[in-house]
């Protein structure tokens, strides 16, 4: 706006001087200015005319570590070339999406593809495509918005834990039992030829049509032990920052355990003590997996209820035959006894603790590197007190003979969660 005002003042002074003095050179400058400014205006107005543009996002959800692919297409349908176009997508994704400046010839088309890594979980917005053009002198500018914005959901990173096994609860059938049963269960595992005495409702018609012989389904005993994950997101007890923080590690543990349990055909429920306590009823299948991932993509360490209160509120939902998985960075031993008492009700228990001091040391080291080494990595007295609390918690867990896994920074979950 200020530049246009300067241009207007300069043009006014030049016109007044030309008509006042009658100098041919001043009239030449006036005509040249009209030609340049008028040509710049026409060039800018034609810059976005007869232009077709669009973009396509490869996916609307994914896990941390995946790559988002966006394909752009620009097509000039006129005989007038587009000398300068700036194309970009405003977005809330960390790192953004790279834009591009290009030119288009007459009746030409340009397409390109970008790949952007998903580095942080959460809900992000990709706004409509913005196209901007102007004249070489910067006098005028035109812009247009193309398409509609989309919401991208980034789920937590799924780390494989092949050696992880849920502890057995006090209920027969809490482990997978690949034994044939005469009863019909949801676990139809194979088909075999029809034998006299087989029920007609067990005939598998697709296999029968494919083979030309009557085939019947065989069933395995259903796993009856469910898993209930209690994720502690109390504000003030989580440490670290970024991907190497205790809250991100806790969410990755919850995602990996839930994924493993659902893959074993277990029903999985979840209690998350965030800003408000969210309870996801136990269920199995791909739909439950999606619900858990969507929940874990949105939660933050902003809870106010301590873990003891969350455990007391969840007792009524834990029935006999379930296995409770408690994920917490809390060093307060008060929550250990309520967990241990669940075993008397036939509920299996396992604790996954987050090494808070280790995460804090990593964050302090990063801050020290950012300050050029001027800051102190950690206070010795504070570190010693936290280490004592961690040892006291581990002693209490060992006293009640609770299966425990300690998760720290820098180690894959597949190495830590080993039964």
SS3 assignment for the chain = CHHHHHHHHHHHHHHHHHHHHCCHHHHHHHHHHHHHHHHHHHHHHHCCCCEEEEEEECCCEEECCCEEEEEEEEEECCCCCEEEEEEECCECCCCCCCCEEEEECCCCEEEEEEEEECCCCEEEEECCEEEEEECCCCCCEEEEEECCCEEEEEECCCCCCCCCCCCCCCCCCCCCEEEEECCCCCCEEEEEECCCCCCHHHECHHHHHHHCCCEEEEEEECCCCCEEEEEECECCCCCEECCEEHHHHHHHHHHHHHHHHHHCCCCEEEEEECCCEEEEEEECCHHHHHHHHHHHHHCCCCECCCHHHHHHHHHHHCCCCCEEEEEECCCCHHHHHHHHHHHHHCCEEEEEEECHHHHHHHHHHHHHHHCCCCCCCCCHHHHHHHHHHHHHHHHHHHHCCCCEEEECCCCCHHHHCCC
Provide the pairing of β-strand 188-193 with 215-221: antiparallel
Which whole-number Å values give the CA distances from 7 to 1, 14, 28, 137, 217, in the listed order?
A: 10, 10, 17, 11, 84
Query: In angstroms, rounded to a whole number, what is the distance separating the alpha carbons of residues 111 and 372?
Result: 44
Query: In angstroms, rounded to a whole number, what is the distance separating the alpha carbons of residues 315 and 96?
Result: 44
CA-nearest of 169, 209, 177 to 191 is: 209
Q: Given this model, what pLDDT does residue 220 score?
A: 56
Query: In angstroms, rounded to a whole number, what is the distance separating the alpha carbons of residues 372 and 261?
Result: 45
The answer to whether the beta carbons of residues 89 and 114 sit under 8 Å apart is no
Cα separation of the two ends of the chain: 68
- What are the residues facing 273 on neighbouring strands? 232, 277
pTM exceeding 0.85: no
Instruction: Kindly state the tokens that stand for 240.
Output: 């670290």
The answer to whether the beta carbons of residues 403 and 352 sit under 8 Å apart is no
| φ/ψ (deg, to 5) at 381 | -65, -45
Q: Given this model, what pLDDT does residue 372 score?
A: 57
Burial, 240: exposed, middle or buried (Cβ in 10 Å; 0-12, 13-18, 19+)?
A: buried
Provide the pairing of β-strand 404-407 with 323-328: unpaired
Q: Given this model, what pLDDT does residue 45 score?
A: 82
Q: Given this model, what pLDDT does residue 179 score?
A: 45
Q: Which residue has the tokens 């307060």?
A: 332
CA-nearest of 162, 239, 177 to 409 is: 239
Q: Given this model, what pLDDT does residue 362 score?
A: 81
The answer to whether the beta carbons of residues 110 and 60 sit under 8 Å apart is no
Query: In angstroms, rounded to a whole number, what is the distance separating the alpha carbons of residues 60 and 52?
Result: 24
Instruction: Kindly state the tokens that stand for 136.
Output: 């070489």
Query: In angstroms, rounded to a whole number, what is the distance separating the alpha carbons of residues 325 and 257?
Result: 9
CA-nearest of 1, 8, 53, 416 to 250 is: 416
pLDDT digits (tens), the chain, 419 positions: 566 677 677 778 777 777 778 778 777 777 788 888 788 888 888 888 888 999 999 999 999 999 999 999 999 998 888 888 999 999 999 988 999 999 888 889 999 999 999 999 999 999 999 999 988 777 788 889 988 999 999 999 999 998 888 765 544 444 444 444 455 555 566 788 888 878 888 888 889 999 999 998 876 554 546 899 999 999 888 888 888 889 999 999 999 999 999 988 888 999 999 888 899 998 888 999 999 999 999 999 888 888 888 888 888 888 888 889 999 999 888 899 989 888 888 888 899 999 888 888 887 777 777 665 544 444 566 667 777 888 888 898 888 888 899 998 888 888 888 86
Q: What domains, with CATH codes, occur in the chain?
A: 51-155 (2.60.40.10), 179-221 (no CATH), 227-416 (3.40.50.410)
């Amino acid at each position: 706006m200020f530049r246009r005002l300067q241009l207007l003042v300069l043009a006014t002074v030049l016109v007044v001087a030309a008509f006042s003095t009658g100098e041919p050179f001043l009239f030449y400058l006036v005509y040249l200015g009209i030609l340049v400014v008028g040509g710049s205006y026409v060039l800018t107005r034609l810059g976005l005319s007869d232009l077709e543009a669009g973009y396509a996002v490869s996916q609307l959800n994914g896990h941390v570590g995946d790559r988002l692919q966006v394909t752009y297409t620009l097509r000039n349908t006129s005989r007038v070339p587009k000398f300068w176009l700036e194309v970009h997508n405003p977005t809330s994704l960390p790192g953004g999406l790279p834009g591009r400046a290009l030119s288009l010839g007459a009746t030409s088309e340009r397409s390109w593809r970008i790949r952007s890594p998903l580095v942080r979980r959460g809900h992000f917005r990709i706004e409509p495509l913005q196209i901007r053009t102007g004249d070489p002198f910067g006098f005028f500018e035109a812009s247009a918005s193309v398409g509609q914005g989309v919401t991208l959901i980034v789920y937590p990173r799924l780390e494989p834990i092949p050696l992880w096994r849920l502890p057995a609860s006090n209920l027969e059938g809490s482990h997978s039992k690949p034994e044939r049963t005469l009863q019909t269960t949801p676990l139809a595992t194979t088909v075999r030829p029809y034998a006299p005495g087989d029920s007609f409702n067990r005939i598998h018609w697709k296999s029968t049509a494919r083979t030309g012989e009557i085939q019947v389904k065989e069933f395995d005993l259903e796993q009856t032990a469910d898993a209930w994950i209690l994720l502690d997101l109390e504000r003030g007890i989580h440490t670290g920052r970024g991907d190497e923080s205790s809250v991100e590690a806790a969410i990755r543990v919850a995602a990996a355990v839930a994924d493993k349990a659902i893959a074993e055909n277990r029903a999985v429920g979840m209690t998350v003590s965030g800003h408000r306590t969210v309870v996801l009823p136990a269920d199995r299948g791909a739909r439950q997996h999606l619900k858990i991932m969507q929940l874990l993509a949105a939660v933050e360490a902003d809870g106010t209820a301590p873990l003891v209160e969350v455990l007391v509120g969840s007792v009524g939902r834990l029935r006999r035959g379930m296995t409770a998985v408690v994920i917490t960075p809390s060093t307060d031993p008060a929550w250990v006894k309520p967990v241990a008492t669940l075993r008397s009700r036939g509920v299996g228990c396992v604790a996954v603790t987050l090494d808070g001091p280790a995460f804090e040391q990593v964050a302090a080291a990063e801050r020290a590197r950012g300050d050029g080494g001027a800051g102190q990595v950690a206070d010795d007295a504070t570190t010693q007190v936290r280490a004592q609390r961690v040892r006291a918690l581990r002693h209490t867990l060992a006293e009640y003979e609770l299966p425990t896994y300690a998760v720290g920074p820098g180690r894959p979950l597949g190495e830590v969660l080993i039964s």
